[in-house]
Structure 1
Amino acid sequence: MVAITFAVMASIIMNVLDTTIVNVALPHMQGGLRANVDQVSWILTSYMLAMVVVTPMTGLLVERFGQRRLMLGSVAGFVFTSAMAGQSHSIVEMVVWRFLQGLLGASMVPVGQAILVASYPPERRGMAMATLGMGIMLGPVLGPILGGYLTDDASWRWCFYVNVPVGLTALFLLARYVPEGGQSPRPRPIDWQGFLAMAVGLGCTQAVLSLGDQDDWFSSQIIRTLTVVAAASIVLFVWRSLTVDRPIVNLRLLKNRALALGSMGIGLFGLALYGVMVILPFYLQEHMGYEAKTAGLVMAPQGVGAMISMGLAGRLLSRNVNPRAVALAGIALGTFGSYLTLFYNLHIDMGWVIWPGFIRGLGLGFISIPLFTIAFSSLTRQETAEGSGIFNLMRNLGGSVGIALVTTIISEYTQVAWNQMGGHINPYTPILSTVLHGRPITAASAQILARTLSQHAAMRGTLDAFVFVFWGFIIMLPLVLLMGNPKARRSVELVVES
C-alpha cells in the first residue's frame, strides 16, 4: 500500500504542480517563444481547456480500460508531452503540447483517488484521503517556488523536464503494484455527438475570448465565425445533454438549485484563483523587477493560506457548522484580500504582495469545501458521480475563462491608459516643462518618457484586472445566500463520504 500511495501521490502532485509551476516562468517563456502576453496566456489556457473537455469522460474511460491501464496511459502520456513541451521553440508548438498534456493528465486525479480507495481497507481510507488531500494542496504552495528556482537557476524548460524523472518513477511503481479494477464488461455508450459539440463549443468560446482583443472583436470575420460556431455547438451540446439517456454531462441535474448555484460559485472560484495566478507573475517580474524565484516565494503564501483554511473548514463542517457561514467568511476574506490589491503601484513593499495573497488564500480555502458540501447536499448517491462531472467542469471552465478574460483586460486597458496618459504629453504641457527643467525634448528624454508611460499604463491595466477579480468574489455572495441550508436535507458527513 505504501508503494501504491507513493505512486499515486507522485502522479497527482505532478499533475497539480503543472497548473501553477509554469506561472512564474511565463515572462521568460514570452521572450523564449517570441510571444506577446495574449499569446503566452494560451500556455495556461490550452492546458485548462483540455482538462475541461476530458474530465467529464473519466468514468466512461475507466469502464472501458480499467483504472490501472487508464492511469498508466495517462502518466506515460503526461511524461512524454511534458518532455516535448520543454523542447518547444514556438508558441504554436508549446500550445499543442500543453493541450495534449492536459488531455492526458485530466483523468489522473479522479482515477488516482479511486485507486487509493480500492487499495485501503474501509477503516484506513480516511487517512489515505487526508494524505492525498495534503499532497494536492501542496501544489499551489510548491508550484510558484519550484518554478521560480528552476527558471532562474536552470531554464524555464525545466518546469516541464522535472516531470520526467518523477513520472517515470511513478510509472514503474504503478505498473508493478496497482491491480486491475473498474473495468466494466458492458461499458456505457459514449455520446460522441455531445462530446464533440462540447469540445468545439468550449474551444471556440476560448478562442473568441483570447483572440478577440487582438483582432478587434466582431469587426473580424474570424471572430464572427468562431462565435457562430461556438453558439451552435453549445446549443447542440445542451440539447444532447437534456435529451439522450446517457449524456457526457447530465445537465438535467441542474434543476437542483443547490447544484446549479454551487457550480456557478465554483466557476467564479476558478476564475478568481487562476486570474490572480496570471496577473501576479507579470506584475512582479515585468513591473516590480523581481527575479522569478523571488516572485514564486512571495506568491506561495496564497497556497499556504488555502492549506490552512481548507483544514479548518473540514473541521468546522465535521462539527455541523453551517457551510453557508463558512463560505461567507471565505468570501469576506477573499474580497478583503483582493480589495488590498486595488492599492498596488510600482513602488509597493513586498509585504503588500505577501499578506493580501495569504488573506485571499484563506478565503479560497474557506469557499471551496463548503461550496462542494452545499452543492451535493441534496443529491442521491447515484446522482453524485454525475453531479461531480458538472462541478469539476465548471471549476476548470471558470479557470480557463478567467485566464482569457484577465489577459484581455490587461492588454486592452493598458492600451487605453497609454492613449489617455500619452495624450497629455506634448511640448506645450506645463508639467512636462517642469519635469524637464525647461529643456527641450531630446531623443534620450523622449525614450525615458516613453518607458515611464509604458510602465504606468501597464500598471493601470493590471489594476483593472485586479478589479475584475475583486468583483468575482463579490458576485459569489448572492449565490451562496440563495443556497438552502444543507442541514435540513442531508448531513454533512454523508456528503463528504459520498
Structure 2
Amino acid sequence: MNVLDITIVNVALPHMEGSLHANSNQITWALTTYMLAMVIVTPLTGLLVERFGQRQLILWSVAGFLVCSVMSGQSHSLTEIVFWRFMQGALGASLVPVGQAILVEAYPREKRGVAMATLGMGTMLGPIVGPVLGGYLTQDLSWRWCFYVNIPIGLIAFTMLLLYIPSFGKSEHPRPIDWLGFMWMAIGLGALQMMLSLGDQDGWLSSRFIIILMLLAGMGILLFVLRSLNVSHPLVNLRLLKDRSLTLGSAGIGLFGLALYGTMVILPIYLQDYMGYEAQTAGLVMAPQGIGSWVSMWMAGRLLNRGANPRWMILAGVGLGATGTWLSLSYNLQVNPFWIIWPGVIRGLGLGLVSIPLFTLAFATLSKEQTPEGSGIFNLMRNLGGSVGIAIISTIMTEEAQEAWNQMGGHINPFSAALPRYLRDAGLHQGTLAWQVLGQTLAQHAAMRGILDAFTFLFWSFIAVILIVLLMKNKA
C-alpha cells in the first residue's frame, strides 16, 4: 500500500484536475505532499518505536493509512486532497522500516534472506503495478478508486498484524523529543523534497522559489546534522552512520531507488506519449520487469539462506541491470514491444538481485536494538534516491529534448536541399500543413533523444553501485 500510492496516483492526476477544480501544476501537490510527509517522518521510526513499540506503531500506521485513503477518495477540493495525502504519507512512512525491523527481530540471521525477499517482493510490486492498476481503475471506474483500492488490502493486513505480531521494541525510558532538531530536520528535508518535486516544472535556478527552497534545504540539513551530533538524545541517531556497512548500504539503496523510480518515469512517458500505447497496454509491457524482479528476489532470499556471498549477488544484479538498460539505448519510435519487454525483464532480474543482499550487508553489523533506527535511515535514502532520480530524469528529458530540437531544427529551413525531397516522398507540399507535420516529427525525435540520454544516465547509476559494493565489508 505504501509504495503503491506513490505511483498509482500519477496516472489519475489528469482526471483529478476537473473534479478538484485544479490546474496541471496545482494537482501535482497531491503527489508532492505525500512524498514530503514520508521523507520527514521516515527517519523518526526509531524514536516512534521506542515510545510506542513496533506492534502499536504498525497497527496505528495501517489504520491511519486506511482512514486517510478513504478521505482522499472522498475529497472534493484541492485543499482536502493535499491535506489527506500529507496525512496518508505521514502515517504510512513507518510501514516499510517497521516491517523490516519486525522481520529482523522475528527471524534468525540465517533465515533472514527469505523474510527480506518476501517483504522486498511486496515493496517492488508498487512501482510496477501502480501505473497499470491506476490506468484500469481510472478509466473503468473513477480516480477515487485509486485510493479505495487500499481498503480490502489494508483490512486484511490490519487483521493479520493484530493476530500475529508480538509486542516488542518499546522502551521503558524513551529518549526525550528534540523539538529543535525536529524543526531543522523538517525544514531541511521538506525543502529538499519540494525542490526535487517542483524543480523541473519551475525551471530550477531560473525560479526564485526553487532557489529559496535550495537555501532552506542546505541550512536545515546542516543545522540538523550539527544538532544531532551535539546533543545527548538526538531525534535521529546519526552516530549510527559511523557503521561503514550502514552508510555504504544506505548510499547503495539510494542509487537503487534512483534506478527503480527513474525507470518508472521514463517508460510510461515513452510508451504512452511517443509510442501511442494506452495506459493499460503500457502497464502490461512494463509488467514483465516486475515479474523479473519477483523471480530474482525469491532466488536471492534462498541463495542467502544457503550461504551465498551477498557481494557477488549484488555485482551480478548490477551487471544484469546495466545490461538491460544498455539494451534500451537502441530504442526508437518504431521499436517492437518485444524489444521493450525482454530488456525490462533483464533489468528487473538485476534490481531484484541488488536490493535484498544490499540490505543484508547494510545491517550485518547492527544490533537488533539499532535496527529500527537504522531501517529508518536506510529507507529515507531509498525515498530520497527515488526523488532525486525522478528530478534528474525529468530534467534530462526536458533539457536534452530542447537541445536536440535546436540542433535538428536548424537543418529544417526553406534553403535545405534535402527538404523538398523529403516533402515530396511524404506526399506534402510546402505550406502550413507541411510545417505542422515537420514540427510534430521534430518534437517526437527530439523527445526520443532526451529519453535515450535519460537511459544513459540510468546505465551509469547502475555502474556507480559497483564502487559502493566494493567498499563494503563482506560480512552477512
Matched ranges for 1:92-491 at <5 A: 94=81, 96-111=83-98, 135-168=122-155, 170=157, 182-437=169-424, 440-486=429-475
- Does the 8 A contact of 2:117 with 2:356 survive in 1? no
- Does the 8 A contact of 1:334 with 1:364 survive in 2? yes
Shift of 1:204: 1.7
Q: What is the rounded CA distance, in whole Å, between the counterparts of 2:284 and 2:434 in structure 1? A: 36
- Does the 8 A contact of 1:41 with 1:407 survive in 2? no
Cα gap change, 1:389 to 1:416, in 2 (>3 Å) = same
Q: What is the rounded CA distance, in whole Å, between the counterparts of 2:284 and 2:351 in structure 1? A: 19
SS of corresponding position for 1:453: helix
- Does the 8 A contact of 2:114 with 2:301 survive in 1? no
Which stretch of the first structure deviates more once superposed, 111-120 or 251-260?
111-120
Cα gap change, 1:312 to 1:338, in 2 (>3 Å) = same
The RMSD of aligned alpha carbons is 3.4
Deviations along 1:112-132, whole A, 9 cap, x unmatched? Answer: 566789999999999987765
- Does the 8 A contact of 2:114 with 2:302 survive in 1? no
Q: What is the rounded CA distance, in whole Å, between the counterparts of 1:31 and 1:455 in structure 2? A: 28
- Does the 8 A contact of 1:301 with 1:358 survive in 2? yes
- Does the 8 A contact of 2:114 with 2:305 survive in 1? no
Amino acid at match of 2:356: I
- Does the 8 A contact of 1:310 with 1:365 survive in 2? yes
Which stretch of the first structure deviates more once superposed, 117-126 or 89-98?
117-126
Q: TM-score, normalised by structure 1?
A: 0.83
Q: What is the rounded CA distance, in whole Å, between the counterparts of 1:361 and 1:17 in structure 2? A: 17
Q: List alignment gaps of at least 5 residues for structure 2.
A: none
Which stretch of the first structure deviates more once superposed, 426-435 or 375-384?
375-384
1:80 lines up with 2:100 in the alignment = no
Cα gap change, 1:167 to 1:386, in 2 (>3 Å) = closer
- Does the 8 A contact of 1:17 with 1:143 survive in 2? yes
Amino acid at match of 1:458: A
Q: What is the rounded CA distance, in whole Å, between the counterparts of 1:331 and 1:367 in structure 2? A: 7
SS of corresponding position for 2:142: coil
- Does the 8 A contact of 2:272 with 2:282 survive in 1? yes
- Does the 8 A contact of 2:117 with 2:298 survive in 1? no
- Does the 8 A contact of 1:63 with 1:187 survive in 2? yes
Cα gap change, 1:303 to 1:53, in 2 (>3 Å) = same
Q: What is the rounded CA distance, in whole Å, between the counterparts of 2:3 and 2:380 in structure 1? A: 16
Shift of 1:463: 1.6
- Does the 8 A contact of 2:71 with 2:84 survive in 1? yes
SS of corresponding position for 2:312: helix
SS of corresponding position for 2:330: coil
Shift of 1:136: 4.3
Shift of 1:475: 1.0
Q: What is the rounded CA distance, in whole Å, between the counterparts of 1:464 and 1:31 in structure 2? A: 34
SS of corresponding position for 1:311: helix
Amino acid at match of 1:481: L
